[in-house]
Homo-oligomer: A and B are copies of this chain.
Amino acid sequence: MHMLRFPDSLVAGYRNFMTGRYVDERERYRVLAETGQKPQTLVIACCDSRAAPETIFDAGPGELFVVRNVANMVPPYEPDGHYHATSAALEFAVQALKVRDIIVMGHGRCGGIRAALDPNAEPLSPGDFIGKWMGLLKPAAEQIQTNSVMTAGERQTALERISIRNSIANLKSFPCVKILEERGKLNIHGAWFDIGNGELWIMNRETRDFERLEF
């Protein structure tokens, strides 16, 4: 392995996989390779190492089509000819794979949200990609930032949830999403995972408040 210089921890993890669950799932992988994937669900989640959808939903191969970016955001629909990673994945999931459910999943202690709330944040590099990316949340972040009566923790959680609602609204700005949702062929859900205690909060469609899922 040192010839290939692949991180030891990943080699060890891959070995655990191949000698563990893969033994039980081998046939399933084979079939999925032959027939293609038919996941029912698109999950738009954060890159955060503590909030992996497959872990949280105990998902096996073939179940979840997963997009992960910083702060689980969906930009608004802009068919301007530039390349848009999240829009491309969304289009593929909805039009090609024909998923039935889209979950926008945020989480607590999100670094992207924290950056958006920091009035003194410096660009991480001259490109300031994170600054621009989190700019998708700017109006909401400014309202929350100036609130002096909520604690830092409350502002953080508030903006994390606002971001999920914002992403859901942007999802609906995609014509294919809007049309399919209206026809009852696509359901959009919001979820927020508390990495501190494992709680999962689901967005109530009517009130748009987040409520703890009891299991």
Q: Taking beta carbons and an 8 Å cutoff, which residues of A are in contact with B? A: 1, 3-7, 9-11, 13-22, 26, 29-30, 32-34, 36-37, 39-41, 47-50, 52, 54-70, 73, 75, 77, 79, 81-93, 95-97, 101, 103, 108-109, 111-112, 124-130, 132-136, 139-140, 143-144, 147-154, 158, 161-162, 174-176, 187, 189, 191, 194-200, 202-205, 207-209, 211-215
Distance between Cα atoms of A89 and B140 in the complex (Å): 21
Q: Contact check: which of B3, B33, B83, B207 meets A136 at CB < 8 Å? A: B83
Given contact pairs A17-B58, A49-B37, A108-B33, A132 touches B65 in the complex (Cβ within 8 A): no
Check B162 against A58 for contact (C-beta < 8 Å). Answer: no
**Nearest chain B residue, comparing its CB with the CB of A147:** B143
Looking across the interface, which residue of chain B has its beta carbon closest to that of A42? Answer: B47
Contact A6 B213 (CB under 8 A): yes
**Copies of the polypeptide in the assembly:** 4
Partner of A4, one of B79, B84, B213: B213
Nearest B residue to A10 by beta-carbon distance?
B57
Q: A58-B13, A125-B91, A202-B6 are in contact. Are A47 and B34 (CB under 8 A)?
A: no
Please name all residues of chain B whose beta carbon is closer than 8 Å to the beta carbon of A73 when the two chains form the complex.
85
Note all chain B residues with C-beta closer than 8 A to A39.
49
Max count, chain B CB within 10 A of own CB: residue among A20, A52, A85, A135: A85
- Please name 16 pairs of A and B residues whose Cβ atoms are closer than 8 Å in the assembled complex, sorted by A: A5-B187, A11-B215, A21-B55, A33-B194, A49-B62, A49-B64, A50-B62, A52-B54, A52-B61, A52-B64, A69-B86, A70-B88, A85-B85, A91-B127, A92-B112, A139-B149
Closest to A15 in B: B215
Q: A6-B202, A30-B197, A124-B96 are in contact. Are A85 and B69 (CB under 8 A)?
A: yes
Distance A64 CA – B183 CA, assembled complex (angstroms): 38
- Interface contact A4-B68, CB-CB below 8 Å: no
Task: Give the distance in Å from the alpha carbon of A200 to the alpha carbon of B203 in the complex.
Answer: 21
Name A206's closest neighbour in chain B (CB-CB).
Answer: B3
